[in-house]
Structure 1
Amino acid sequence: MKSKKAILLWSVFIGSWILSQVGLAQEKPNILWITIEDTSPQFIGCYGNEDASTPVIDQLAQEGVRFTNAFSTGTVCSPSRSTIITGVRTFEMGTGHHRSNYAIPSFIHGFPYYMKKEGYYVTNNSKTDYNVGNIKDFTNEAWNESSDKAGWWNRKPGQPFFAVFNFNDSHQSRTMSMSYDWYAENVWNHLSEEDRILDNAFEMPPFYNDTPEMRKQFARVYNSIKLTDNRIGNLLQKLEKDNLRDDTIIFFYADHGEGMPRGKTNGINYGYRVPFVVWFPEKYKHLSPWGTSGAVAEELISFEDLAPTLISLTGGNVPEYLNGRILMGKDRSEAIDHLVLSSDRADNGPDMVRSITDGRFVYSRNFVPFTPQVRHIRYINIGEITQHMRDDLAKDKLNPLQKSVFSARPSEFLYDIKNDIWETNNLVDDPRYTAYLKKMRKQLDLEILEAKDVHFLPEYEIGLISKKGTAYEYRTNTGNYPIKKIYAAASLSGKLGYQIAKRQIALLKSKNSIVRYWAITGLRCQSEIVLKPYKNQLLAAIEDTYPPVAITASAISFDHFKQEKAAEKLREFCLHNNMDLALMAINGLLYIDEKQPFVQTILKVHNLPNRNYNVKAACMDFLGILNLVPNTAENEH
């Protein structure tokens, strides 16, 4: 009898405990995370574009908080998503090159891993593209479920959820890269007649030529975003139908800036800035430090802040390796006065830009400025809008601003993005802004050195490091990585003239191979007349023992001095089994005038087995310049 009574009491206790835990779980907010692709805030209604049709997003902003200074830490999807999922900036972890998939330290996890520890059911529907090694295990550890069927519906009763939905309807494939017929089938035909935005129903950004054909292509942006807005509306209806809206905080944002020429892949505001809205239900409005019901937050936020914010918001302990801010809740971090952003290789188009912004100004330092803003990236070149732009350039139909996107860049940009949202006026040489320029230069220099930016190593070097370790851990070992010496050499790249060239030539004698790499990269930016006195030194550098130096010296020597020895070296490296070196050599050929001597080599490379996408894409760009292959999306398959 006593035993039965004890069992009964124990059962009541256990039942009460279970109910209390369910109650506690229900007190934690659900979080719905809506991400869209390749979209700048300039094309969203609540950000002031009266031509846009985004009523669902606009209502979220009208009832929630709209951020005016939200920035992606990169300008193309996989580097941006690397920072989103890990909370670590790409130039600290070595993940800045698009789809490089290098190893990261074992102690760095996808942040939903920490939310699972707090009892959350975490799902991803369904894009990953995290740009890290061992991607299958990394993804499985991060999520309870990651698939195109994932959502809140498989959680336990009363279990709080974090559910991510990725909408790709505004992706660059829809807005420009695939053919117009493909766009019509996948976007236009999915819109009702009243939803469709016509070619004459919007203003063209000034760096695109305002012609009927360009308008036909650019209307794809507006219609793709309209379809995205419709899809978001359907998701929110499901949330409402499941009676979850009152318990769910909703985040909405894009993964980086607009996926059009000069936007995506470019280290300027048009590539970095994103729309970002947070909506709070009544019971969780107290968590918003900005207010709600149409509040506008001007504080600076970046993707580095998302991981610590979500971990903290759901009750977890933020790991020490996360340096971003906690944006809301009791442990909210103080606002900051600037952000550091970065843009590196996108597909087959190498680049290196470091930027700093205070929300009013964006300052960008271009470390390989001899390539233009619209450089040779296959996924951009196959777009019909890019081909119209290049055709208008050849026919001299573009104004100076429109031509500038195809010219070598200056080493620095400074834009007043409050008064010049389309970044048409570079203020670097305007004496009225000298104080801003000096301040932002100094801030960026200090931030790069403090972070020990690992992308000042050529990607070839990061590939070698990643065979035995991680770039993140290599970077933090000061004995391995003399960043001050390397950055001193890199800081000369893009600066022009005889005195700079003289210093760069002297650095070619450095014992440090990375210093020599930056010396030769800087010399690649110099004009033929400046380099002429150093012809012999450049020819000698062709035999440098460090391949990236030899490749770049060969590109310079052939381009300016037509040295056959240099041509042979370039052919040799185009055929190299190391894909980083092969890509570097082929890219060297894309930006020289005389391409004909290399046609047979490029044809051979393209037909070789085991060449990766980037090498094949660079080959196609080379052949496309010479009109030896058509520049169409269909030709890629």
Structure 2
Amino acid sequence: MSRFFNSSVVRCLIVVVALVSAGFLQAAQQKRPNVVIIMTDNHGEWTLGCYGNKDIKTPHIDQLAQEGTLFTRAFANNAVCSPTRATFLTGLMPCQHGVHCYLRPRIQTGPDSYNTLEEFQTIPQILHDAGYVCGLSGKWHLGDNLYPQEGFSYWITKPHGASSGFYDQEVIEDEKIHKEPTYLTDLWTQHGIKFIKQNQDKPFFLFLAYNGPYGLGSAMKEPIKNRFKEEYEQLTFPSFPREKAQPWNFNYGDWIGDLGIIRKYAAEVSGVDDGVGQIMQTLKELGLRENTLVIFTADQGLSGGHSGYWGMGDHTRPLTAFDWTLTIPLIFSQPGQIVEGARQKMMVANYDVYPTLLNYLGLEDKIPAKPARPGRNFAPVLKGKQIPWKEEVFYEFENVRAVRTPEWKFIERYHESPNELYHLTQDSKEHNNLIDDAQYKQKKDELKQELDQFFARYADPKWDIWNGGQSKTVLMTQKLFPKTYLYLPEQKKK
């Protein structure tokens, strides 16, 4: 009798412990917030009201900034889409992930296409493995676009990276390419909302990757068709500098001051803002806002006439690392968890987001030990804490590498001149190159040493094109790298 009683008690205790443990696990999963990352394309932070713009209407992004922490000095580590997106999702530099330039069509669709991030633990893959449902709505531009990648189960994207327009464009949906009549900015928003509603009862990760405002090519020649047309066609937008075009402009110097281009870019910025407003409203209506971390950022910046340039660092010759191609918006917001209305002046880079996000979510143990990542965790700052922080960021774009501090920038070129040194506090437009000024030799040497040590520590020989490594992309400066060839996975070579 007593043995039966004791064994029954033991069995009951085992069941109770199992139920309690399952309850704790479920509670832990419920406490982990949903994640919405909103990324724009070729988008300078200077276009947003929360960053000081008085011309372009961005009330919803401005409200997001009021509800969270805005970083006033956030930087991209490259000038073009594929490398910056690869860095954002992996926390690695181009010399570590191998994506050195924007992907051409060959790698995106067709028999040679492949996912350029397949060997890495990316943000979406880690979140998928942690129980999140992951959805992409918008631009991918990282290879094998036809099929869902990296743990995404919801997948609508573009078959290519460049944007020739926002209307009647090709879209990939259900693993098929079709022409889409809907305004693409609205399309990405609509699918973002659909994904949220479908997964409101589960932990979800939405990567809402707009292909606007873009600012380049035929997309800017397309007439304004969104709701800002009538208003913006009457405005002159003085926030776009009318400066003399500098000699290094290659593609777009004659766009500086062009009101048609300016108005179109401004309208596309405001179109994205409308989408952000709809996403935020959906989260609130579904009661999800408090349990959703929202990050707003861009892949890289864009000059709208600043310092006498239009475009990014690939629209100059030589390729460049000026601030107008590096600076991006960066906002983190979750009510009750992240300091609201804060403006952080610390210098952060896109490669810092990877460790910060995973630490914020309690998934820091999922960050791989190898390859070593250059990113730093600033999650405590989002909670209002102070942490030690070295004020410097690094940049790598094919044959251009740079280090930037609050006061200085040193730029080095591989097999090309000139190298550059700028005293940013005295020369914010970066027009006065001090590289040959003997007065600043010590500073140049110090910064060069910082740059060399950084890449010596982090570069992977396989992808370090400065030392004979390969590239997953065609290089704009291929003639400078005769030993570098386009990498294709073995199965694609057969």
Q: Secondary structure at the match of 1:66?
A: strand
Distance 2:278 2:342 in 1: 25
Distance 1:447 1:246 in 2: 39
Q: Which residue in 2 is equivalent to 1:601?
A: none
Larger-gyration structure (1/2): 1
Q: Which residue in 2 is equivalent to 1:167?
A: 210
Distance 1:74 1:6 in 2: 61
Distance 1:456 1:229 in 2: 38
Find 1:122's aligned residue among 119, 134, 137: 134
1:83 Cα shift? 1.1
1:41 Cα shift? 1.9
What TM-score results when the alignment is normalised by the length of structure 2? 0.71
Q: Secondary structure at the match of 1:337?
A: coil
Structure 1 residues 212 and 303, CA gap change in structure 2 (3 angstroms)? closer
Q: Secondary structure at the match of 1:204?
A: coil
Asked if the contact 1:176–1:220 (Cα under 8 Å) also holds between the matched residues in 2, the reply is no
Distance 2:79 2:142 in 1: 14
Distance 2:135 2:256 in 1: 44
Find 2:444's aligned residue among 414, 437, 454: 437
AA in 2 matched with 1:93: H
Asked if the contact 1:268–1:362 (Cα under 8 Å) also holds between the matched residues in 2, the reply is no
1:318-397 alignment to 2 at 5 Å? 318-321=367-370, 322-323=372-373, 324-329=375-380, 334-344=388-398, 352-367=399-414, 369=416
Asked if the contact 2:421–2:435 (Cα under 8 Å) also holds between the matched residues in 1, the reply is yes
Unpaired segments ≥5 residues, structure 1: 286-291, 345-351, 370-409, 468-492, 494-513, 522-547, 550-577, 581-637
Find 1:268's aligned residue among 322, 344, 347: 322
Q: Which residue in 2 is equivalent to 1:140?
A: 149
Q: Which residue in 2 is equivalent to 1:457?
A: 465
Q: Secondary structure at the match of 2:401?
A: strand
Q: How many residues matched?
A: 410
AA in 2 matched with 1:422: K
Q: Secondary structure at the match of 1:144?
A: strand
1:257-312: per-residue Cα shift (whole Å, max 9, x none)? 11663524232211112111111311x13xxxxxx232121222222222222222
Structure that is richer in strand per residue: 2
1:356 Cα shift? 0.6
Asked if the contact 1:67–1:299 (Cα under 8 Å) also holds between the matched residues in 2, the reply is yes
Bigger mean CA deviation after superposition, 112-121 or 328-337: 328-337
1:333 Cα shift? 7.6
1:219 equivalenced with 2:263 (yes/no)? yes
AA in 2 matched with 1:178: S
Asked if the contact 1:257–1:274 (Cα under 8 Å) also holds between the matched residues in 2, the reply is yes
Distance 2:60 2:387 in 1: 30
1:368 Cα shift? 5.2
Structure 1 residues 237 and 343, CA gap change in structure 2 (3 angstroms)? same
Distance 1:579 1:30 in 2: 38
Q: Which residue in 2 is equivalent to 1:178?
A: 218
Q: Secondary structure at the match of 2:213?
A: coil
Q: Which residue in 1 is equivalent to 2:454?
A: 447
Structure 1 residues 355 and 207, CA gap change in structure 2 (3 angstroms)? farther
AA in 1 matched with 2:410: Y
Asked if the contact 1:270–1:422 (Cα under 8 Å) also holds between the matched residues in 2, the reply is no
1:191 equivalenced with 2:231 (yes/no)? no
Q: Which residue in 1 is equivalent to 2:82?
A: 78
AA in 1 matched with 2:312: G
Find 1:93's aligned residue among 85, 93, 97: 97
Asked if the contact 2:86–2:97 (Cα under 8 Å) also holds between the matched residues in 1, the reply is no
Find 1:51's aligned residue among 51, 55, 63: 55
Structure 1 residues 22 and 99, CA gap change in structure 2 (3 angstroms)? same
1:127-175: per-residue Cα shift (whole Å, max 9, x none)? 22125xx6777x5343233336453333373x3222221122201xxx2
1:180 Cα shift? 5.3
Q: Which residue in 1 is equivalent to 2:333?
A: 279
AA in 1 matched with 2:124: P
Q: Which residue in 2 is equivalent to 1:564?
A: none
1:233 Cα shift? 1.2
Question: Which structure has more RCO (C-alpha within 8 Å, separation ≥ 6)?
Answer: 2
1:320 Cα shift? 0.5
Q: Secondary structure at the match of 1:250?
A: strand
Distance 1:143 1:29 in 2: 18
AA in 2 matched with 1:413: E
Structure 1 residues 87 and 205, CA gap change in structure 2 (3 angstroms)? farther
1:480-629 alignment to 2 at 5 Å? 548=482
1:364 Cα shift? 1.5
Asked if the contact 1:85–1:110 (Cα under 8 Å) also holds between the matched residues in 2, the reply is yes
Q: Which residue in 2 is equivalent to 1:206?
A: 243
What TM-score results when the alignment is normalised by the length of structure 1? 0.56
Distance 1:121 1:49 in 2: 36
Structure 1 residues 155 and 203, CA gap change in structure 2 (3 angstroms)? closer
Distance 1:20 1:212 in 2: 58
Q: Secondary structure at the match of 1:231?
A: helix
1:296 equivalenced with 2:305 (yes/no)? no
Structure that is richer in helix per residue: 1
AA in 1 matched with 2:292: T
1:39-60: per-residue Cα shift (whole Å, max 9, x none)? 1222222222333322222222
Asked if the contact 1:340–1:354 (Cα under 8 Å) also holds between the matched residues in 2, the reply is yes
1:38 equivalenced with 2:42 (yes/no)? yes
1:445 Cα shift? 2.4
1:440-493: per-residue Cα shift (whole Å, max 9, x none)? 122112223333465663899626xx89xxxxxxxxxxxxxxxxxxxxxxxxx9
Asked if the contact 1:38–1:264 (Cα under 8 Å) also holds between the matched residues in 2, the reply is no
Q: Which residue in 1 is equivalent to 2:277?
A: 233
Q: Secondary structure at the match of 1:320?
A: coil
CA RMSD of aligned residues (A): 4.0
Unpaired segments ≥5 residues, structure 2: 108-113, 157-187, 246-252, 305-309, 315-319, 488-494
1:254 Cα shift? 0.7
Structure 1 residues 108 and 461, CA gap change in structure 2 (3 angstroms)? closer
Distance 2:415 2:263 in 1: 32
1:106 Cα shift? 6.3
Asked if the contact 2:68–2:331 (Cα under 8 Å) also holds between the matched residues in 1, the reply is yes
AA in 2 matched with 1:271: T
